[in-house]
């Protein structure tokens, strides 16, 4: 364990009542928090150092996880400290401990049609459970406002990154690729400037959502989801936003989307949550515009100096261009039952 974290193990073992920690293995997957697999006399656990969200937010999410697990969903309930806390703090660092979940990460494009449908239905069940009183979350208000960036702001941001790249003394391959992509993005924004969502109010139901249902946050075993992981992005959103974003991160093929799987996933979700085709279509267009006007990977690379998401930039650009050429086809995949 890097830095002073190794010295925290003794305190954590005592705080969580683990006895002797027999082995601690760092898990390199993931870009946000740091995670380890712990072997102890009381079983195998996943230890997470909380670095990506405020500790109070982590406590809230861990409480929700406990409620969802009690409701029978495939969610890991946190192990409490000997004083009943979900988070242990030591050495200026905060940690939570979860039982080790069996299963494997699978790409969405490797899932069978029935598994894709089941994934959609599970997302719907999660939304229902998060809205239930047992989850302990404040109910979402009607008429959720969703900010849609203006073309002018997006173009200014693209120019800001182009200026950063132009000012680099020794530009590298990422700089060159980003420069070309940004110029292409500017043309795309100008072409579609009149397509910005007109209303600030998203159509359809809204509520608490997971926020990051990507393959690394799901575990599968024999065709069944055994665990939904990493609840740090828990917050209120339009349900349609989570549906579209999940399809985007699950069913991308490298250049576009597997639209058959998109349709099966959305059909599974709509078998649980009553959301109309028009409401889903609204979410599709809002997500397309958000992709058109966001540059989050470049924020990480140039503003934060963190290159973890670099590999997501180029595929995201290819998907955006593919999507922009097939908007009606994409909307149909999301709105027509299969």
pLDDT in tens, 264-305: 999 999 999 999 999 999 999 999 999 999 999 999 999 999
Do the Cβ atoms of 206 and 237 come closer than 8 Å? yes
pLDDT of residue 52: 84
**CATH class of the domain comprising 108-147+194-335:** alpha beta
pLDDT of 169 over the 70 cut: yes
Q: Which long-range contacts (CB under 8 A, 24 or more apart) does 148-151 make?
A: 148/196, 148/197, 148/200, 148/286, 148/289, 148/290, 148/293, 149/289, 149/290, 149/293, 149/294, 150/196, 150/293, 151/189, 151/190, 151/193, 151/196, 151/293
pLDDT of 31 over the 80 cut: no
Q: What is the CATH number of domain 5-99?
A: 3.30.200.20
- Tally of CA atoms within 13 A in the half-sphere of 201 that contains its CB: 6
pLDDT of residue 4: 57
pLDDT in tens, 312-338: 999 999 999 999 999 999 999 999 866
The Cα–Cα gap between 239 and 283 comes to: 9
Say which range, 1-10, 23-32, 328-337, has the weakest mean pLDDT: 1-10
Q: Categorize the per-residue pLDDT at 142 as very low, low, confident or very high, splitting at 50, 70 and 90.
A: confident
**Residue ranges of the domains in the chain?**
5-99, 108-147+194-335
pLDDT of residue 140: 87
pLDDT in tens, 66-115: 999 999 999 999 999 999 999 999 989 999 999 999 999 999 999 999 99
Exposure letters 111-136 (e unless 16+ CB within 10 A, then b): beeebbbbbbbbbbbbbebbbeeebe
pLDDT of 3 over the 50 cut: no
pLDDT of residue 18: 95
pLDDT of residue 255: 82
Do the Cβ atoms of 86 and 1 come closer than 8 Å? no
pLDDT of 1 over the 60 cut: no
pLDDT of 60 over the 70 cut: yes
pLDDT of 144 over the 90 cut: no
Tokens at 125, concatenated? 């069940």
- Please choose, from the candidates 121, 107, 104, 79, the residue with its C-alpha nearest in 3D space to the C-alpha of residue 243: 121
Kindly state the percentage of the chain with pLDDT values over 90: 88
pLDDT of 5 over the 90 cut: no
Q: Please list, in sequence order, all residues whose beta carbon lies within 8 angstroms of the beta carbon of residue 161, skipping any fewer than 6 positions away.
A: 178, 182, 295, 298, 302
Q: What is the mean pLDDT of the chain?
A: 94
CA 107 to chain centre: 14
Q: Please list, in sequence order, all residues whose beta carbon lies within 8 angstroms of the beta carbon of residue 71, skipping any fewer than 6 positions away.
A: 129, 132, 134
């Amino acid at each position: 364990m890097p830095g002073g974290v190794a010295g925290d193990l003794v305190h954590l073992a005592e705080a969580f009542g683990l006895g002797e920690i027999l082995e601690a293995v760092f898990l390199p997957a993931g870009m946000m928090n740091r995670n380890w697999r712990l072997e102890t006399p009381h079983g195998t656990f996943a230890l997470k150092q909380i670095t990506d969200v405020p500790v109070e937010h982590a406590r809230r999410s861990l409480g929700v996880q406990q409620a969802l697990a009690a409701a029978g969903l495939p969610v890991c309930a946190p192990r409490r400290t000997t004083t009943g806390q979900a988070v242990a703090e030591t050495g200026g660092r905060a940690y939570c401990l979860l039982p080790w979940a069996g299963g494997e990460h699978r790409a969405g494009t490797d899932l069978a049609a029935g598994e894709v449908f089941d994934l959609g239905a599970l997302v719907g069940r999660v939304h229902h459970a998060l809205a239930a009183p047992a989850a302990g979350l404040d109910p979402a208000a009607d008429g959720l406002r969703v900010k849609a960036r203006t073309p002018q702001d997006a173009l200014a941001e693209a120019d800001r990154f182009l200026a950063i790249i132009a000012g680099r003394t020794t530009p590298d391959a990422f700089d060159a690729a980003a420069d070309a992509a940004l110029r292409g993005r500017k043309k795309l924004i100008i072409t579609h400037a009149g397509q910005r969502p007109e209303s600030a109010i998203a159509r359809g139901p809204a509520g608490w959502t997971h926020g990051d249902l990507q393959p690394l946050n799901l575990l599968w075993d024999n065709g069944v989801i055994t665990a939904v992981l990493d609840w740090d992005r828990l917050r209120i959103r339009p349900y349609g936003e989570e549906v579209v974003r999940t399809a985007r991160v699950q069913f991308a093929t490298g250049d576009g989307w597997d639209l058959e799987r998109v349709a099966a996933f959305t059909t599974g979700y709509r078998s649980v949550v009553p959301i109309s085709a028009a409401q889903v279509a609204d979410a599709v267009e809002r997500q397309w515009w958000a992709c058109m006007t966001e540059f989050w990977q470049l924020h990480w690379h140039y503003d934060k100096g963190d290159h973890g998401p670099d590999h997501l930039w180029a595929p995201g650009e290819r998907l955006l261009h593919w999507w922009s050429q097939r908007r009606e086809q994409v909307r149909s995949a999301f709105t027509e039952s299969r």
